[in-house]
Structure 1
Amino acid sequence: MHTATLSRSVRLFRAFRHEQTDRDTFYRVLAADSAEQVAASTPLRDRVLLDVGGGPGYFSDAFEARGATYVGVDPDVGELSARGEPGRNMVRANGTRLPVRTGSVDVCYSSNVLEHVSAPHAMLAEMVRVTKPGGTVFVSFTPWWSPWGGHETSPWHYLGGHYAARRYTGRHGHEPKNRYGSSLFSFSVGAALRWAAACEDATLVRAFPRYHPWWANWVVRVPALREVVSWNAVLVLRKDGDA
């Protein structure tokens, strides 16, 4: 059972500081925690899990260790090959047009991708579409107004995404990897919750801050505060219909 304790939060935030300098270490820690977190919401053994935006496949080992059949998709060749050759279970594809049959996966998962998609609602709809009735959609993302909303340009994104990107370029001599308006967009917890409430094909089961201890889950229920304090938000939905 996943235990969202304060010590776990501290461990994740410590690992998070090394995302830019030691990606392997950071993503292995995050992948193990994520698989445990998803397993607390739905069984994984003998289930097919689709990871939308899986990148170079950091999450593959963690989910397969729990008995899931893992398939990852990512549209970026650079991300797919970030660890060398793309993984055997990775496919190049766009999250807003998944090349996956309707109602064919047990779990549709995505970590820190929605903020990089110009049409996040389209991606969410696709994730619901490919999930079997009774299956689970588990999606997390970084809200724009969180302290890490501008990614490597943070905290200057609070003064505007374009300004933050220009400042980063001036200081580092090259553009940020996450460029506001082309590979990084403003998406809010409120917008995600409104989409979930209006979704006709799935029901929102839980919404909570991904990295926080369990007793801080209430922050997602407070408008404005949730945009800053959540840091990273999770939506768990159940596809409507009989399993």
Structure 2
Amino acid sequence: MAFTRRRSTLRRSLGLLGSFRHEQPRPDIFYGGLAIDTASMVEALWADVQGSGLQGKSVLDVGGGPGYFAQEFENRGVHYVSVEPDVGEMSAADIEVTASVRGSGLDLPFLSDVFEVVYSSNVGEHVSEPWKMGEEMLRVTKPGGLVIYSYTIWLGPFGGHETGLWEHYVGGEFARERYTRKHGHPPKNVYGSSLFDVSCAEGLRWGGSVAGAELVAAFPRYHPSWAWWMVQVPVLREFLVSNLVLVLRKL
């Protein structure tokens, strides 16, 4: 993973952490920067595994939202398609996406073996059956292609999303109710319906055992490369990895 490690610096990590405060009030700042980082990560992973460039390849973004990522991939000469279940979310930023399909990650509206890369950025914790979504992602990936599955770990500091840095450790319901009392409205990500408790161990277990694919990498998405060892340490990884990236090559 030489290319991916090379880009995973402390400076990058601090920059992404600093932009997190903009997620709710200025999503264009947060997601614009995240889009650049995501496209760069996918490009580096493809180069590491396949030994070639991403230009001309087909990429499916599962949970593409309002389209912040589209331009970054298109700038790299990629044939980009997004799928998003919420029509309101698709139009939230008033961004025109050339190929955007309304549909669920749990039942992707595509034939099997279509895309060279299928990735999902921070969506797994928002669906009730994250590994079913992973299997759907594998289904629509071409043999030899990559599935890149990135999700937020519940026991990490950002597991509760906007409900706070510690409240979710008391419990998801507590965090949700405390946020509602404080702000006068429920959070965007509601525990039990649009936010779920997903662990690091679950993802590693699924990635290492799912039929028809080889787990080629698993690392903390936002950490510098020298901290990737945390993924290998039970219990510790649940609190410190924060966001796990699973990279699978379809057989």
TM over 0.5, shorter chain: yes
Query: Where does 1:154-173 land on structure 2 (aligned, <5 Å)?
Result: 154=164, 155-173=166-184
Quick check: 1:174 aligned with 2:185?
yes
Match of 2:141, as an amino acid? T
Match of 1:108, as an amino acid? V
Match of 1:221 among 219, 232, 235: 232
Aligned partner of 1:118 in structure 2 is: 128
Quick check: 1:49 aligned with 2:59?
yes
Within 1, Cα distance between the matches of 2:111 and 2:174?
41
Q: TM-score, normalised by structure 2?
A: 0.93
3-state DSSP of counterpart to 2:230 = helix
Aligned partner of 2:149 in structure 1 is: 139
3-state DSSP of counterpart to 1:137 = strand
Richer in helix (by share): 2
Cα deviation code 1:163-210 (max 9, x no counterpart): 110100000000111001000001111001111111111110100000
Aligned length: 240
Q: TM-score, normalised by structure 1?
A: 0.96
Within 2, Cα distance between the matches of 1:40 and 1:153?
33
Cα deviation code 1:187-240 (max 9, x no counterpart): 111001111111111110100000110100111111111111111110111001
Gaps of 5+ in 1: none
3-state DSSP of counterpart to 2:88 = helix
Within 2, Cα distance between the matches of 1:24 and 1:9?
19
What's the CA shift for 1:85? Answer: 6.0
Quick check: 1:32 aligned with 2:25?
no
3-state DSSP of counterpart to 1:41 = helix
What's the CA shift for 1:88? Answer: 3.0
Within 1, Cα distance between the matches of 2:119 and 2:100?
14
Aligned partner of 2:91 in structure 1 is: 81
Match of 1:61, as an amino acid? Q
Moved over 4 A (4+): none
Within 1, Cα distance between the matches of 2:80 and 2:246?
20
Quick check: 1:14 aligned with 2:24?
no
| Preserved contact between residue 150 and residue 156 of structure 1 (Cα < 8 Å) | yes
Match of 1:81, as an amino acid? S
3-state DSSP of counterpart to 1:145 = coil
Within 2, Cα distance between the matches of 1:117 and 1:124?
11
Percent identity reads 54
What's the CA shift for 1:53? Answer: 0.2
| Preserved contact between residue 54 and residue 78 of structure 2 (Cα < 8 Å) | yes
